Amino acid sequence: MTESRRNERSSPTVRSSSIKRFQQALLVWYANNGRHFAWRNKSASSYHRVISEVLLQRTRAETVSAFFPQFVRDFPSWRKLAKAPESTLRRYLRPIGLWRRRAATIRKLSREMARRSGRFPEERAELETLPGVGQYVANSVLLFCHGKPQPLLDINMARLLERYFGPRKLADIRYDPYLQHLSLQVVTCDKPAKMNWAILDLAALVCKIREPKCTACPLRRECKHLGGLARMVGKR
């Protein structure tokens, strides 16, 4: 038996009823507590949403939000972005770190997208051949450009899902079969974009790495992490 198969069999089984309750609680919470960012506006184009995800990798949303409106005013399309000098891109990207590498990658991607008239391929294998497009950005393209439910799975989403449903087995979330399948299950609903945003916002605002605000969490009644904390307190 392969290692991935052993991990998949030993991972927790998640019932559809549990996922349904998770989805319902999160969407209600998000309607009242979700964060507001320009790329989430109804008027935001698929370009706005995909380029925001490129910028958001390993970067706090609030940091990107500070310069994003001016960024998309100056570069309102892939074609305009492709014409920008790399030095200009570096100036915009300096606040989020690794600006030289990011500027070079974004410039390559924008040139390729300008060549494609702004149309992303629909197949994942082809998507991931584009500059700067790995699993996460490919998921965002499939979600925002092609309307396919896909998870914006990063370490924050992973933390929330694991605390609520149970831990993964592999260190790298990109290859863990349990977490990959689970994250797709939870965002497969009528509002996959909002479901993704709800998970990410709850992870950022409530289900934090350290000192999570468990008493304010809409998932606290069934959360495995909170149950574990309660048992630890009881043993003292």
Q: What is the pLDDT of residues 8-18, one digit of tens each?
A: 445 567 889 99
Average pLDDT over residues 89-104: 86
Report the number of secondary-structure helices (H) and strands (E) in the chain.
13, 0
Least confident of 81-95, 114-128, 189-203: 81-95
For the chain, percent of residues with pLDDT exceeding 90: 80
Summarize the confidence of residues 35-41 as an average pLDDT.
97
Neighbours of 210 (CB within 10 A): 4
Q: Mean pLDDT across the stretch 23-35?
A: 97
pLDDT of 22 > 60? The answer is: yes
What's the rounded Cα separation, in Å, for the pair 91 and 43? Answer: 27
Tokens of 129: 């051949």
Tell me the CA distances in angstroms from 137 to 3, 84, 120, one per residue in order.
27, 21, 11
- The alpha carbon of 10 is separated from its chain's Cα centroid by a whole number of angstroms, namely 26
Calculate mean pLDDT across residues 101-112.
Answer: 94
For residues 220 and 77, what is the distance between their CA atoms, to the nearest angstrom? 42
Q: What confidence score (pLDDT) does residue 231 get?
A: 40
The span from the CA of 112 to the CA of 82, in Å, is 8
Q: What is the DSSP letter of 150?
A: -
Mean of pLDDT values over 129-139: 96
Write down the pLDDT at residue 233.
Answer: 37
pLDDT category at 45 given cuts 50, 70, 90 is very high
- What's the average model confidence in pLDDT over 194-201? 98
Spatial CB neighbours of 166, under 8 Å, sequence gap ≥ 6: 11, 12, 14, 224
The answer on pLDDT for 7 being more than 70 is no
What does each C-alpha distance from 33 to 27, 89, 149, 204, 205 come to in angstroms?
10, 33, 22, 12, 9
**Residue 136 in this model has a pLDDT that exceeds 90:** yes
Is the pLDDT score of 32 beyond 60?
Answer: yes
- Domains in the chain (CATH in brackets) are 3-205 (1.10.340.30)
How far is residue 61's CA from residue 55's CA, in Å, rounded to a whole number?
9
Residues 6+ apart with CB under 8 A from 217: 202, 206, 207, 223, 226
In the block, residue with structure tokens 């945003």: 197
